[in-house]
Amino acid sequence: MDRKLHWDKAYAAGAPERLGWHRPHLSASLELIECTGIDKKARLIDVGGGASTLVDDLLNRRFEEITVFDLSITALSLAQSRLGGRASKVTWIEGDITSVELPPAHYDLWHDRAVFHFLTAADDRRSYMQQLKRSLTPGGHVVLGVFSLDAPPRCSGLDVQRYSVELLQREIGADFALREHRLEEHVTPGGVKQIYLYGRFQACFSRPGEEVLR
């Protein structure tokens, strides 16, 4: 399957608010980001941000260093058009998170709602986690939103990998400490209930000469 083609078609098919994963505001993500205590100059990346309004809300909260990353150029273009002149305040990257070259030890916060659970192949998940660890600063934060075990097994015509807290911790590994988790019920425009599991993690690895954070 060509993942890029799949998502470009999904975003080109209609208005973003009609897509199954759309929410007017990602309230759970915003609350968890605020709980990290990062300052407004922290470098954030929204993986799979696409046409999401998270970037709008982060700008409204005066965060200054935001990167939106997505496989679909169509999705990124929708967000840029919506933001108008404010789009120039954001870094936009099109690419596949399992193979892209992001700057090392660069991001203070990594956010992902509904990308990781589409990686059903173990090799893809391993590449994702290698990318995450490589590009996050020591002590950096991760907010992951994935389908819980009670969510449907498919979304947008694709299989998903569902998670419990324990399974998510196992995937992200011992280099990340779980700070909190929560469940959120999302109802699609078509009326389907999807239970998301959110985990807020903090990196506890170090670079040479740095103290490990526990």
d(CA 2, CA 148): 25
Asked whether residue 213 is assigned to any structural domain, the reply reads: no
User: Could you give the number of structural domains in the chain?
Assistant: 1
Mean pLDDT of 166-182: 97
Asked whether residue 55 is assigned to any structural domain, the reply reads: yes
d(CA 60, CA 48): 20
Give strand ranges (E) for the chain: 43-47, 65-70, 90-94, 107-113, 136-147, 154-155, 158-159, 176-187, 193-203
Asked whether residue 208 is assigned to any structural domain, the reply reads: no
pLDDT in tens, 19-66: 766 788 999 999 999 999 999 999 999 999 999 999 999 999 999 999
pLDDT at 161: 98
Asked whether residue 209 is assigned to any structural domain, the reply reads: no
Asked whether residue 214 is assigned to any structural domain, the reply reads: no
Asked whether residue 172 is assigned to any structural domain, the reply reads: yes
| Mean pLDDT taken over the chain | 92
Query: Taking 70 as the threshold, does the pLDDT of residue 126 lie above it?
Result: yes
Asked whether residue 63 is assigned to any structural domain, the reply reads: yes
Mean pLDDT of 164-181: 97
Query: In terms of pTM, does the model score above 0.75?
Result: yes
pLDDT at 211: 52
Of residues 163, 164, 93, 170, the one with CA closest to residue 135: 93
Asked whether residue 211 is assigned to any structural domain, the reply reads: no
Confidence category of residue 14, pLDDT binned at 50, 70, 90: low
Q: In CATH, what number is assigned to the domain containing residue 49? A: 3.40.50.150
CB of 176 within 8 A of CB of 168? no
pLDDT at 209: 45
CB of 98 within 8 A of CB of 124? yes
Range of the domain at 10: 3-14+23-203
Query: Taking 80 as the threshold, does the pLDDT of residue 18 lie above it?
Result: no
pLDDT at 73: 93
Query: Per mean pLDDT, which range of 5-19, 57-71, 125-139 is the poorest?
Result: 5-19
